[in-house]
């Protein structure tokens, strides 16, 4: 696949089996594995994680990152500098951000471009990480696209999830879904034509229904969750967009129980590198209702 969407995790996220949920959202997930237990991790725990991650990697669903705590600490000092207020809290959860920076170095042959997003199991985790950013003096505009979709149960067999991922119809549905979120949505927010906005909304509804149908074809137990994709808008684009509320209302208003779109503000921990937008993260919220 030429352009891929990757999810990055912390060294503890496997305890929530969050990678099972993410396997239907991302082209690949980046799983950090320490060479020895850290904190209250056990050797048995890491051995099972390595076995699962190796299986996923062989099926082009994951990338194993050989985790090194010294490297992480150096990265905090050299890259983040004073951006993160690392106090007495367990900063290893912020490892998602380091892996987001490392994905270019992990690019497999045949992959031209990677969009990587740190993955969070709840909105509180996302806010906790970003609230520690002390170098940001201005908040950026964040567009939150939330969808209520089916996800694999925490005990779903990896073999069945891989079988679904390899289905041509699922691949097609996921690619269309991803394309709308990363390419179409930023364009729609800048649209002045109500007709074009409504057409884009109808297109998204059809893609979301198709995506959900494909997930339900999977032969594994499922549960419902709200999956929120966060898109950080660059200041120039934000100014050019001006009033986005009309587009937001038109896109989300017709299907309040299917998906929602809203504008919020949040600190941005790094520059947008000349891009008009940056994928800021993705959140899985099992107990939330749209």
Does 279 or 256 have the greater pLDDT score? Answer: 279
pTM above 0.75, yes or no: yes
The length of the chain is 290
Instruction: Provide the b/e sequence for 243-262 (b: ≥16 CB within 10 Å).
Output: ebeebbebbbeebeebbbbe
The answer to whether residue 269 scores a pLDDT higher than 70 is no
| Number of other CB atoms surrounding residue 77 within 10 Å | 11
Least confident of 14-18, 78-82, 198-202: 78-82
CA pair distance 206, 173, nearest whole angstrom: 10
- What's the pLDDT band for 263 if we cut at 50, 70, 90? confident
Question: pLDDT tens for residues 85-130?
Answer: 444 344 666 788 888 888 888 998 888 889 888 998 888 888 777 6
CB of 63 closer than 8 Å to CB of 132 = no
Does 54 or 248 have the greater pLDDT score? Answer: 54
CA-wise closest residue to 285 among 234, 210, 225 = 225
CB of 228 closer than 8 Å to CB of 145 = yes
The whole-number pLDDT of residue 237 equals 52
DSSP-derived secondary structure letter, 141: E
Does 134 or 196 have the greater pLDDT score? Answer: 196
The whole-number pLDDT of residue 74 equals 81
The whole-number pLDDT of residue 143 equals 83
CB of 63 closer than 8 Å to CB of 31 = yes
The whole-number pLDDT of residue 138 equals 55
The whole-number pLDDT of residue 119 equals 92
Q: Whole-number mean pLDDT of the chain?
A: 82
- What's the pLDDT band for 255 if we cut at 50, 70, 90? low
The whole-number pLDDT of residue 157 equals 96
Q: Beta strand pairing status for 277-285 and 113-120?
A: parallel
- What's the pLDDT band for 161 if we cut at 50, 70, 90? very high
Least confident of 108-112, 182-186, 251-255: 251-255
- What's the pLDDT band for 221 if we cut at 50, 70, 90? very high
Residue matched to tokens 């890491």: 46
The answer to whether residue 72 scores a pLDDT higher than 50 is yes
The whole-number pLDDT of residue 272 equals 53
Least confident of 79-93, 154-168, 210-224: 79-93
């Amino acid at each position: 696949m030429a352009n891929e969407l990757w999810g990055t995790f912390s060294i503890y996220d496997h305890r929530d089996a969050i990678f099972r949920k993410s396997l239907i959202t991302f082209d690949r997930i980046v799983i950090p594995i320490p060479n020895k237990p850290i904190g209250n991790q056990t050797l048995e725990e890491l051995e099972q994680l390595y076995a699962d991650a190796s299986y996923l990697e062989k099926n082009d669903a994951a990338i194993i990152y050989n985790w090194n705590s010294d490297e992480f600490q150096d990265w905090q000092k050299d890259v983040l500098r004073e951006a993160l207020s690392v106090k007495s809290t367990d900063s290893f959860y912020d490892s998602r951000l380091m892996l987001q920076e490392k994905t270019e170095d992990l690019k497999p042959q045949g992959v031209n471009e990677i969009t990587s997003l740190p993955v969070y199991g709840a909105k509180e985790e996302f806010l906790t990480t970003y609230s520690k950013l002390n170098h940001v003096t201005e908040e950026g505009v964040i567009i939150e696209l939330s969808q209520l979709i089916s996800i694999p149960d925490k005990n779903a067999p990896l073999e069945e999830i891989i079988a679904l991922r390899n289905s041509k119809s699922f691949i097609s549905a996921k690619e269309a879904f991803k394309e709308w979120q990363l390419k179409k949505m930023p364009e729609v927010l800048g649209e002045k034509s109500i007709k074009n906005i409504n057409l884009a909304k109808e297109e998204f509804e059809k893609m979301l229904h198709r995506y959900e149908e494909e997930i339900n074809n999977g032969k594994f137990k499922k549960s419902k969750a709200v999956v929120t994709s966060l898109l950080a808008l660059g200041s120039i684009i934000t100014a050019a967009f001006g009033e986005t509320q009309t587009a937001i209302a038109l896109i989300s208003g017709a299907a309040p129980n299917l998906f929602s779109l809203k504008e919020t503000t949040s600190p941005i921990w790094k520059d947008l590198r000349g891009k008009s937008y940056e994928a800021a993260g993705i959140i899985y919220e099992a107990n939330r209702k749209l």
